[in-house]
Chain A
Amino acid sequence: MSTIAERQLTPATEAAPLTGARPRSTYWPFVVPAVAVVGSVIVFPWAFTIWMSLHEWTVGGARRFAGLSNYLRLVSDERFLTSVWQTLIYTLLAVILPLIFGTLAALIFNSKVPLRGILRGVFVMPMMATPVAIALVWTMMFHPQLGVLNYLLSLVGIGPQAWVFSPSTVIPSLVLVETWQWTPLVMLIVLGGLAAIPTEPYESAAIDGANVLQRFRYITLPMIAPFLMVAVIIRTIDALKSFDIIYAITQGGPGTASETINLYLYSVAFAYYDVGYGSAIAVVFFALVIGLSLLMLHLRQRTKWTELQGGA
């Protein structure tokens, strides 16, 4: 027995069979603009980058085919390996912290606190600021002798910190800026999720005697999980490609303590003009981003599937 979908498709297929040269030639012109755009702005730059990565090529110098030597050089490049590790650490922290604080903020702003509308507006302000302006303000705040942060710490009896001026504290300090700026984004996403939760499960839970934590753990969290996944994906991509704030505050320093792949790539390509090696770094970085994105999408799908199973 045929399904509804099959029955609906059958007459159309019979009326206009999609075979023969004529339909194909009729459709092709419509595809050409999309193919041209994708080819010129996505495929060509990538093919060219891969081609460049196979050459030893410094701006102003001769170009020589180098096979995979740029990639082999990466494996033993201590600075590159450090930058990969630092990128991962930075990304991890810059995703987790805004996620935690953004969720907490969303829970607060979802309840009926006084002046909720105004406070929400104030809370999302950091998101609207220009990254370089933020970086300049935070650089001044971080200054060990003149910055306001050490002054505030001194009021509560804590000694001065070196913040971004010390290799051991630079990444957490940069993550602090990132968290300050992007917590509101997570809050907005989660707030959307909270608004979509029906009240009935909470009423049932209240009748069953569930406390606040249990209600959050067994009702709120599973129901906002798909929204959290969206926030994680957006934040991961954003943190991975973070450049402006790090560059403006530390330029990857002190030493290379806050040098992420992006910053190293920038130095190699635009300060050392080593286009071939820079391209190899770009290809590896791209592969890393693709890998992490696929993992995120897979997790997103699983979350969705679990949610559907749960709802069935």
Chain B
Amino acid sequence: MSAVTRRTFLASTAAAAAYGLSGATPAFADVNWKKYAGTKIGVNLVKSPRGDVLQKFEKEFTDLTGIQVSSEQTPEQQQRQKAVIELNSGAPSFDVIHISYHVQKRQFEKANWLADLSGFMKNPELTDATLTESDFSQAGLLYAKNPQGQMLSLPFSVDYWMVYWNKDLFAKKGLAYPQTFEEMVKVAEALTDPKEGTYGFVARGLKNANVPVWTSFLLGYGVDPVDANGNLMTDTPEAIEAAKLYQRLLTKSAPQGVAGFNWSECQSAFLQGKVGMWLDGVGFAPPLEDPDRSRIVGKVGYGVMPKGPKAQASATFGDGIGVTSASKNKEAAYLYCQWAISKLMGARLLQAGGGVPFRQSILNDAETRKGVKMPPAWIDSVVESGKISKLGLPVIQPVTEFRDVIGIGLTNLLGGGDPATEMKKATEQFKPILERSEKA
């Protein structure tokens, strides 16, 4: 068994702080970390920079707690399938599960696959005093809690949507960063010059992937895709206006072939310095400042989502980490989750550019911010986006179908479809699917 004690662990993390990974070490002080020493837990992670950071420092967790961890990372789509199949069997091979809130929240809640962590969070022997609900952003709490107010997971990493903009292209045309949707359209069209191969705007056109672009607009019209009573709002006048905006930006100011663009194609186009604005998640920023991959290093502006006619909102998505209700090692698994979202791990995640923690104390920590490789404008934009964050997708079970059905309608708009017709058709098509899912 490892000879590392809590004291030596604290000393080592303090040493890590000296290298700039600071602002978090006291987080391990109060909990009885060794209580479940010798326990073995399985951890199911999504293949991502978040999963990489957790696996990289896994040994530190074992040294701290004496809990043996067997973790695996699987690509997102396959991980979701594997998790669902195993959880549905009632005997999953893992105790800890990394979930995508914006896709799996409702499904996991309805199927009771996650253990209630509310009691653990109130237990000072299990939970550090600094880990409080109020430390999570509002969106994080909305995601983590079920309608009964139980905390079913710990918010891990958040993805706000923001606008990346090319300062050089803006300067050439004497344009300023847009403050409203209307200005965004004008600026995008002013920047577009197909002969020069320059385009004002790019965002996802590929079905399913494109829905968050449209919901980003819809939220600016003051409407959520599904209202509080579970009614679809996808064919309302606001939804149609948002669809018109989507159509206009992506047909008049976007590069050829945008109907097949996912985030990677958008990123490639933006990296070449030929696109004025790119609307997407904050997590895609690091390559923009990487001289090996980007032609626009130091020229990128990080803008908060412009204001819509009714509201200013940043569509928000996120990951959580929870304990399965079938786990026989819930306390040990909870300790892992707590470690995963600790200040130290959150700081590492943020500084590596692998994700943005939901915990405000990490984002606001001056020492942590010093170690962030991205420009200060990026983190400022992240913090500002957090203040106007709204859930980017409805909390319903058939999220993937919602994204597919609405996404097909949106892609059709890029081929010249009529916004009202497409949105009404998609809504009509999705309505029975939603009703069926709620009955099931």
Known interface pairs A144-B256, A146-B268; A255-B440 also in contact (CB < 8 Å): no
Which listed residue (B207, B258, B408) contacts A165, Cβ 8 A? B258
- A250 CB to closest chain B CB (Å) equals 7
Smallest CB separation, A258 vs chain B (Å): 9
* Contact partner, A253, options B110, B111, B411, Cβ 8 Å: B411
B408 pairs with A170, CB closer than 8 A: no
For A59, A60, A167, A256, which residue has the most chain B Cβ atoms within 10 angstroms? A60
Q: Which residues of A contact B208 (CB under 8 A)?
A: 251
- Is A270 at the interface (CB under 8 A from chain B)? yes
A145–B269 Cα distance when bound, in Å, is 8
Is B415 among interface residues, defined by CB-CB distance under 8 A?
Answer: yes
Given A254-B205, A254-B207, A256-B408: A62 and B259 interface contact (C-beta under 8 Å)? no
Q: Is the CB of A144 within 8 A of B110?
A: no
Interchain CB contact under 8 A, A60 and B107 = yes
B116, CB-defined interface residue at 8 Å? no
A160: CB under 8 A from chain B? yes
A256: chain B residues at CB < 8 Å are 207, 408
B396 to chain A, nearest CB (A): 12
For A252, the chain B residues whose CB sits under 8 A away are 207
B-contacting residues, A30-88, CB 8 Å: 56, 58-62, 79
Q: Compute how far the CA of A27 lies from the CA of B269 in the bound complex, rounded to whole angstroms.
A: 69
CB within 8 Å of B: which A230-267 residues: 250-256, 267
Q: Which partner residue on chain A sits nearest B87 by CB separation? A: A60
Question: Does A164 belong to the interface (CB within 8 Å)?
Answer: yes
A272 within 8 A of B: yes
Instruction: Give the distance to chain B from A267, nearest Cβ to Cβ, in Å.
Output: 7
Residues 151-165 of A contacting B (Cβ, < 8 Å): 160, 162-165
A58 touches B260 (CB 8 A): no
A166 within 8 A of B: yes
Interface centre among B113, B197, B255, B260 (most CB of A within 10 A): B260
At the interface, yes or no: A271 with Cβ under 8 Å from chain B?
Answer: yes
Interface size class of A (residues with CB under 8 A): 20 to 34
Contact yes or no, A144 B255, CB < 8 A: yes
- In the complex, whether B81 has a CB less than 8 A from a CB of chain A is yes
In Å, the complex CA distance between A160 and B255 comes to: 11
**Is B207 a contact of A255 with CB atoms below 8 Å?**
yes
Q: Please indicate the chain B residues that have their CB under 8 angstroms from the CB of A272 in the complex.
A: 398, 400-401
Taking a contact as CB atoms under 8 Å apart, the answer to whether A253 and B400 are in contact is no
Once bound together, how far apart are the Cα atoms of A123 and B401, in whole Å? 42
Whether A271 contacts B400 in the complex (CB less than 8 A), given A145-B255, A165-B259, A253-B206, comes out as yes
* Cβ contacts under 8 Å, B408 to chain A: 79, 255-256
Asked if A250 contacts B400 (CB within 8 A), the reply is: no
Extra A-B contacts (14), CB below 8 Å, given A60-B110, A255-B412, A267-B404: A56-B436, A59-B88, A60-B87, A60-B88, A61-B440, A143-B265, A145-B269, A145-B274, A163-B257, A165-B256, A166-B257, A253-B206, A253-B207, A254-B207
Task: List residues of A whose CB falls within 8 A of some B CB.
Answer: 56, 58-62, 79, 143-146, 160, 162-167, 170, 250-256, 267, 270-273
- The 5 A-B pairs at the shortest CB distance, nearest first, are namely A165-B257, A165-B260, A61-B440, A144-B257, A255-B411
Task: Show the binding face of B for A, using Cβ within 8 Å.
Answer: 77, 81, 84-85, 87-88, 107, 110-111, 113, 197, 205-208, 255-261, 265, 268-269, 272, 274, 398, 400-401, 404, 407-408, 411-412, 414-415, 436-437, 440
